[in-house]
Amino acid sequence: MPKPYAVINEEIKDALKGKAGEERAREIKRLLKAIHWDVGDYKRIKDKLRRELAEIETMEQAKKASRSRTKTKKTTPQFCIIGSTNSGKSTLINNLTGTTIPVESYPFTTIEPQYGAMEYDNISFQFVEIPAIYDGCWNGDKSTLGMIYFTDCVMILGRSHEDFELVLKELAGQNIELIGERMSDGFIQTTPRKIPAFLVFDKTDPNLPPSHLKKIPSDNLEEIKQNMIKIIKPVRLYTMNSFNEIQEQPVVFFKDQITVKEVIQKVYKGKEEIFKDAVILEGGPNGRRKRVGITYELSDKDVIHLTFHK
Ligand SMILES: Nc1nc2c(ncn2[C@@H]2O[C@H](COP(=O)(O)OP(=O)(O)OP(=O)(O)O)[C@@H](O)[C@H]2O)c(=O)[nH]1
Ligand SMILES: [Mg+2]
């Protein structure tokens, strides 16, 4: 005797709960085999499962392809931590990421770039401590200048007014313009180079140089992290499947004006042609529900469910 539609639907939800990616695909295949009927309500359920299976398989393929093709840079903004010697660069990177870069009270402790990584608000960040900047440090070896030139953002540390003056002067001398947040089309390279930046100061000497850049005390880690998000302006989109389950990890873009089309191109490569429509939950799971088309412009934290023609 076949079970009622609602019962089977609940059993399927339970069976798929918490399963993602390849594991979820395997479970769906098992369920499809286990449901023998393929008519009426059973067919509806099976069609839904088949659609989801196709979605997952496309997504897994896209993930594999993007892992081999794109560098981490696309999804992981890099921040260079720069400043004069003893300004607290290693201390800050350790405090933010849990690394154990040596910290000493004598100058020029860090002589090679040091790396750290952090996850915050569903964004991965990479940090690089650049060895201390001093008067004329780029007259000879320009390797650290190259790293600053190609980074996404800089965090300028200082313990005094003079520390900041020195760093700002050296950067200006290298044709680098510091800006308050990333440009609307992303972390693109311009000449002269425009790099988003902010200042991190020591509360014991809050005497800062005049600058349009945001200034944050070094002991306020939470404000530093929040400002990093503000500076990179991520557009985090959470995809939702046919069972109204929302993916924990967002698809992230770092530019303004992301359309539904771009999400399809990034996540469901090749399915643009068979796009049917999209349902959006504006700004999060509790947001207003809207049915939208392919040119719709998405905002940070929108939830999106895409449907395709078979
Ligand atoms: N007062 C104060 N001291 C700090 C702060 N951050 C670090 N220090 C101290 O300053 C000294 C230098 O700290 P580091 O983190 O090694 O500084 P750095 O900029 O990495 O220095 P170098 O790698 O040598 O250029 C250490 O003695 C730290 O304990 C801060 O925010 N305030
Ligand atoms: Mg250091």
DSSP string, 56-104: HHHHHHHHHHHHHHS-GGGTS-EEEEEESTTSSHHHHHHHHH-------
Task: Tell me the torsion sign for CA atoms 51, 53, 59, 62.
Answer: negative
Q: What number of CA atoms fall less than 13 Å from residue 54's CA on the CB side?
A: 16
Cα(91) to ligand 2 centroid in Å equals 7
Strands 114-120 and 123-129: antiparallel
Asked if residue 121 has its Cβ within 6 Å of ligand 1, the reply is no
| 264 has a pLDDT exceeding 70 | yes
Q: Cβ(251)–Cβ(265) under 8 Å?
A: no
Q: Cβ(93)–Cβ(129) under 8 Å?
A: yes
The whole-number average pLDDT for the span 142-148 is: 87
Domain coordinates of the chain in residue numbers? 1-69, 73-232, 234-310
What's the burial of 65, exposed, middle or buried (CB within 10 Å: 0-12/13-18/19+)?
exposed
- CA dist., res. 123 & res. 310, Å (int): 34
- CA dist., res. 161 & res. 305, Å (int): 51
Q: Which residue did the predictor score with more confidence, 41 or 303? A: 303
User: What average pLDDT does the structure give for the chain?
Assistant: 90
Asked if residue 132 has its Cβ within 6 Å of ligand 1, the reply is yes
**Residue 84 confidence class, pLDDT cut points 50, 70, 90:** very high
The whole-number average pLDDT for the span 57-66 is: 63
- What are 176's strand-pairing partners? 193
Question: Which residues neighbour ligand 2 (ion) by CB within 5 Å?
Answer: 89-90, 109-110
Asked if residue 95 has its Cβ within 6 Å of ligand 1, the reply is no
Predicted confidence (pLDDT) per residue in 9-48, tens digit: 899 999 999 888 889 999 999 999 988 888 888 888 999 8
Ligand 1 atom, smallest distance to 202 CA: 31
Phi, psi of 106 (to 5 degrees): -90, 160
Quick one: which ligand is closest to 85's CA? 1
Structure confidence at residue 70 (pLDDT)? 40
Cα(196) to ligand 1 centroid in Å equals 24
- CA dist., res. 82 & res. 174, Å (int): 15
Asked if residue 108 has its Cβ within 6 Å of ligand 1, the reply is yes
| 66 has a pLDDT exceeding 60 | no
Structure confidence at residue 71 (pLDDT)? 40
CATH class of 234-310: alpha beta
The whole-number average pLDDT for the span 268-293 is: 94
Quickly name the fold that domain 73-232 has: Rossmann fold (3.40.50)
Q: DSSP alpha helices (H): ranges in the chain? A: 5-16, 21-34, 40-69, 89-97, 143-149, 161-173, 221-232, 260-267
Strands 258-259 and 297-298: antiparallel
Predicted confidence (pLDDT) per residue in 175-229, tens digit: 899 999 999 988 887 777 899 999 999 998 878 888 899 999 999 999 999 999 9
Residues 235, 171, 138: CA angle, nearest 5 degrees: 125
In Å, what is the CA distance from 5 to each residue of 9, 10, 25, 43, 126? 6, 9, 22, 10, 49
Q: Hunting for tokens 């840079």 — which residue is that?
A: 73
**Residue 62 confidence class, pLDDT cut points 50, 70, 90:** low
Structure confidence at residue 73 (pLDDT)? 42
Predicted confidence (pLDDT) per residue in 94-131, tens digit: 999 999 999 999 999 999 999 999 999 999 999 999 99
Residue among 82, 91, 201 to mutate when testing ligand 1 (max atoms within 8 A of CB): 91
Task: State if pTM tops 0.95.
Answer: no
**Residue 63 confidence class, pLDDT cut points 50, 70, 90:** low
